[in-house]
Amino acid sequence: MKKEILKGWKAATPVALGYIPLGLAFGIMAAQQGLTWVDVFFLSLLVYAGSAQFIASAMIAANASAIAIIGTTFLVNLRHMLMSASLSPLLKHLSTGSLALISLEITDETYAAGYPEASTGKASKWFYFALNNLAHGSWIACTVLGCLLGNSISDPQKWGLDFALPAMFIGLIFTQLKGKSDILVSLAAGILSVVLVFLLKDNFNIIVATVLAATLGAWLDK
């Protein structure tokens, strides 16, 4: 068990470090939008999704209805269902209770950090519990700290905090590159997204590039 916990903490370390600037940026922005540290704490504890929390905070500040906020964050987080579906056959040796706890903690980052271990078909519940607890704890601590700092940092972009999320994903993707096909798919996704941004609106370039690159990856695997 100890070995698996240490392995989980090791996998979570880049995620936890990446959450520092991103969590601080969210907390500072939330404070400027009128949320208290208690609000931020429960958002990070119960929602635990960076993009959804940024959206929810802005909607709360704009006095949007509860139904609108819940509906919007639900749609934004639907991608987690796909992540859970891709992990379920790899973690079928775990109990239903363990799978439920693991699924509650899935984020883009923990999915990417844990997938290499899950793909072996031998990932333990202790690995995932350690991975998720360290990542989630880091996110909560950083967002609350950012909120407590409040308006002391008036311009997060000045410090590059707005680039925290892309930087973290760039770091995570390099840990997933195991062969030529992985590199080719990654390059294809990036190039397609940049090209399509001039042709499509509302971030649809990301969705289309992802689908096309994933299709390329499936074809290469066959």
Percentage of the chain modeled with pLDDT above 70: 90
Span 154-179, average pLDDT = 69
Same domain, 118 and 28: yes
pLDDT score recorded for residue 90: 94
| Domain carrying residue 163 | 2-176
Query: Distance of CA 151 to CAs 23, 35, 146, 154, Å?
Result: 15, 12, 9, 6
Same domain, 14 and 103: yes
Same domain, 115 and 135: yes
First to last CA, the chain: 37
pTM to 2 decimal places: 0.73
pLDDT of 47 over the 70 cut:
yes
Same domain, 113 and 221: no
Q: Which helix (H) or strand (E) element contains residue 126?
A: helix 125-149
Q: Which of 64, 54, 40, 42 is nearest to 156 (CA)?
A: 54
pLDDT score recorded for residue 202: 62
Same domain, 41 and 72: yes
Same domain, 194 and 85: no
Same domain, 115 and 210: no
Same domain, 96 and 153: yes
Span 7-29, average pLDDT = 90
Number of domains in the chain: 2
Same domain, 72 and 45: yes
Q: What is the pLDDT of residues 53-106, one digit of tens each?
A: 888 888 888 888 888 888 888 877 887 888 888 898 999 999 999 999 999 899
Same domain, 67 and 23: yes
Q: Which of 20, 12, 14 is nearest to 50 (CA)?
A: 20
Same domain, 16 and 119: yes
pLDDT score recorded for residue 203: 65
Q: What is the pLDDT of residues 104-140, one digit of tens each?
A: 899 988 998 999 999 999 999 999 999 999 999 999 9
Same domain, 172 and 182: no
- Answer for the pair 38, 27: CB distance below 8 angstroms, yes or no: no
